[in-house]
Each structure stands twice: as C-alpha cells, then as structure tokens.
C-alpha cells in the first residue's frame, strides 16, 4: 500500500462511523484499546526467550489446561488495558474462571468483551504463529450490575469481533458487521495500518484443515467428508485436496481468509460428553462472525454457529468453517446421517 495514502486503524474507524453512522464512540474506543493491547502482546511474543515469556506458568485454567506464561501475560495485558476506559461493563476470558467486572473506581460502559488472550498455546515455545481472538457484545436490558447471564447471547448479536495473528507479520483482522478489514502492524511507527478492506473467502477450495491424528475418533459424516477429500481425483470429489494444520486456530482461519479452505474441529469420541474442543463464546463465535462477513459459512455440523444460544461461559462447540460450498457439504453429510 502506498505510504502517502496510509490509513490507520483510527482513521478507518472514524471513516466507518461517518459513512455508516453505526459505530458508537465507546465501541471505537474499545476496538482501539484492544488493538493497543494486541500490540503489547505482539511485542512480548517477539521478545521470546529474551523477554522470559516462554514456558509454562505452573498454573491451570478453568478448563484444566496448564497455562503458559504468555497465556497469563496476554490475559493481564487485555484486562488492564480495558478496565479503566469507561467503555466496558465486564470481561470474560478463556483464562479466567468467571467474569471480570470493571472495578468500582472506574465508570462502567455498556459493552461486554470476551477473549482468548493467547490462541495456539502449544505453538508458543516452538516459534509458530499464535494469536488473540476477541468478541464484543452489548449488555442488553437495564438491570443494574452484570452477571454471567448477560454474556449468554447468541453470536449473531456480536457488535464486533476480531483476531490478531502474531506471525511473520502481526495482523489485526476486524469486523464490525460491515465486512472484514485487515491491518498490519508497522513496528517503526507503532500503528496498525489498513492493508486490506472487504476480504472475501473463495466459495470453493481444495484445502482442508483438521487434526488427522483424531481420525479414528470421528463421527461417520466427518469421516466420510475427509475420506472423499483424501480419495482425490479418483474419488467422489474428482479433484485432489491439500491439507494444512497449524494447530493455532487464528493461523488456520487467517489462511482461509486469505486463500480459502475449510477448517474442522469436530466432536470426537475422546471426550464424548463434550461437543468439541473449541470454545463457543471466545473462539467459535468471533471467528464465525468474521468468516460470514467475508462470505464464508460456519456451523457446528448442523446449526449455524451464530444462532447457538450459549448456556455457559466456557461452553464448547464443534466447528466447521470456511469456504461456503465445502461447509455446506459437511453440514449436508451430517443432516443425511440424521
Ligand atoms: P488455545 O491455545 O487457546 O487453548 O487453543 C488451541 C486450539 C486452537 O487454536 C487449535 O485449533 C486447536 O486448539 C489445536 O488442537 P490440537 O492440539 O488438537 O491440534
Ligand atoms: Mn484458543
Ligand atoms: Mn488460549
């Protein structure tokens, strides 16, 4: 992008507000604060061993996962950045057991922020792309105070969603319900610069992403879909497929946003009582919103992710998202299986 015509995140938000009149000042502030926090996380990620950010923190989160130092650091950065601005009522995070209220000493806003502070934790120590995922809801109703109940809204009610991928470049991907914009972090000026607006996911693809090591645990519709991809040109699909699995959802979704593809983290027999591995409210919902805004689809194999009404903050869900024709096919296979 020509340096003379560089558009910063701030300018983008101001222009969106002018053009569509639908981005309240508080939401704009919220996005800018989250983006600034992501910049701080990007700096910590980049320091690696020099910043003593690698390795485990010797604590567990509410899901029973051992926390990495960066899980804890990223969570603290996001909480501290967001609690004093007056734009939020409360926050929720993969790394916090329950909701975090804005302390009494600060004014309260009407937004609710949810995040996966560090996505792809298993990739931190091996220097592979990781990220931050966030979702913004508005507190509905006028009851005083905030409870977990206020968060339990279907994803279609999100006021905004985004992720930041910390890879060879740090990229912030944002939707406010009006398409998807990409910003690249300019490390010299410290600003997020608009590098793509109106991102679109191709409808068709020859690339799938799934953790193949779980193949023996899958349900028949998922097995059928992947078997057909693997059969390639000689099989039912009549074309060869390629496979990618970064094991950081942000990185896999970012590839799909860039060149198409389908991502699956289905239910499997390892933990039959859990619908899936990924979390609905701060992983699946924000990604589903972004993917739909870019012309793709996102389901749990049967239902549109954004229509699911959550019953718990840390609820899990099966995820199929990406190029619309492939997601439709996987969803049809589930429906045919009954
Ligand atoms: P997190 O690091 O926030 O716990 O999320 C990890 C998730 C997701 O990013 C990725 O797609 C998936 O776990 C990888 O799972 P496998 O370990 O089964 O590959
Ligand atoms: Mn995650
Ligand atoms: Mn995480």
Q: Which residue has the tokens 């109106």?
A: 198
Query: Span 9-197: which CATH code?
Result: 3.30.540.10
pLDDT level of residue 23 (50, 70, 90 thresholds) = confident
CATH topology of domain 207-337: D-Maltodextrin-Binding Protein; domain 2 (3.40.190)
Show the ligand 1 pocket: residues with CB < 6 angstroms: 94, 116, 119-122, 211, 247-249, 265, 277
Convert the pLDDT of each residue in 215-245 to its tens digit: 999 999 999 999 999 999 999 999 999 999 9
Q: How many CA atoms lie within 13 A of 223 on its CB side?
A: 10
CA of 105 to the centre of ligand 1 (A): 36
> How do residues 96-147 score in pLDDT, each as one tens digit?
999 999 999 999 999 999 999 999 999 999 999 999 999 999 999 877 789 9
Q: What's the rounded Cα separation, in Å, for the pair 208 and 156? A: 25
d(CA 136, CA 43): 24
Domains 9-197 and 207-337 belong to one CATH topology: no
CA 26 – ligand 1 centroid, Å: 32
- What pLDDT, in 10s, does the model give residues 51-95? 999 999 989 998 888 999 999 999 999 999 999 999 999 999 999
**Ligand with minimal distance to 65 CA:** 1
Count of positions (residues) in the chain: 338
Indicate which residue's Cα is closest to atom 18 of ligand 1: 211
Beta bridge partners of 319: 265
Each domain of the chain, given as residue ranges in start order, spans 9-197, 207-337
Give the pTM: 0.97
Determine the distance separating the centroid of ligand 1 and the alpha carbon of 119, expressed in angstroms: 7
């Amino acid at each position: 992008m020509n340096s003379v015509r560089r558009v910063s995140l701030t300018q983008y938000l101001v222009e969106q507000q002018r053009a569509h009149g639908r981005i309240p000042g508080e939401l704009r502030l919220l996005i800018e604060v989250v983006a600034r926090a992501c910049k701080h996380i990007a700096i910590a990620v980049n320091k690696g061993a020099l910043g003593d950010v690698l390795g485990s923190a010797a604590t567990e989160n509410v899901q029973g996962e051992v926390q990495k130092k960066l899980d804890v650091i990223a969570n603290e950065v996001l909480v501290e950045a967001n609690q004093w601005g007056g734009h939020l009522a409360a926050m929720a995070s993969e790394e916090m057991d329950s909701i975090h209220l804005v302390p009494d000493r600060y004014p309260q806003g009407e937004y609710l922020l949810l995040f996966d502070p560090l996505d792809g934790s298993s990739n931190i120590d091996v220097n592979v792309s990781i990220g931050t995922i966030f979702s913004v809801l508005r507190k509905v109703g006028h009851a005083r105070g905030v409870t977990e109940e206020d968060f339990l809204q279907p994803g279609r009610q999100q006021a905004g969603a985004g992720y930041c991928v910390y890879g060879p470049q740090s990229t912030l991907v944002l939707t406010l319900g009006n398409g998807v914009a990409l910003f690249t972090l300019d490390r010299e000026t410290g600003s997020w610069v608009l590098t793509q607006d109106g991102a679109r996911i191709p409808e068709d693809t020859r690339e799938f992403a799934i953790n193949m090591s779980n193949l023996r645990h899958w349900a028949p519709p998922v097995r059928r879909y992947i078997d057909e991809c693997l059969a390639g040109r000689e099989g039912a699909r009549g074309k060869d497929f390629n496979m990618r699995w970064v094991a950081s959802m942000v990185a896999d979704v970012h590839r799909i946003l860039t060149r198409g593809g389908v991502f699956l983290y289905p239910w499997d027999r390892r933990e039959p009582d859990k619908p899936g591995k990924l979390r609905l409210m701060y992983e699946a919902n924000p990604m589903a919103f972004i993917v739909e805004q870019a012309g793709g689809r996102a389901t749990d194999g049967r239902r549109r992710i954004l229509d699911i009404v959550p019953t718990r903050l840390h609820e899990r869900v099966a995820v199929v998202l990406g190029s619309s024709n492939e997601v439709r096919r996987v969803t049809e296979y589930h429906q045919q299986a009954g």
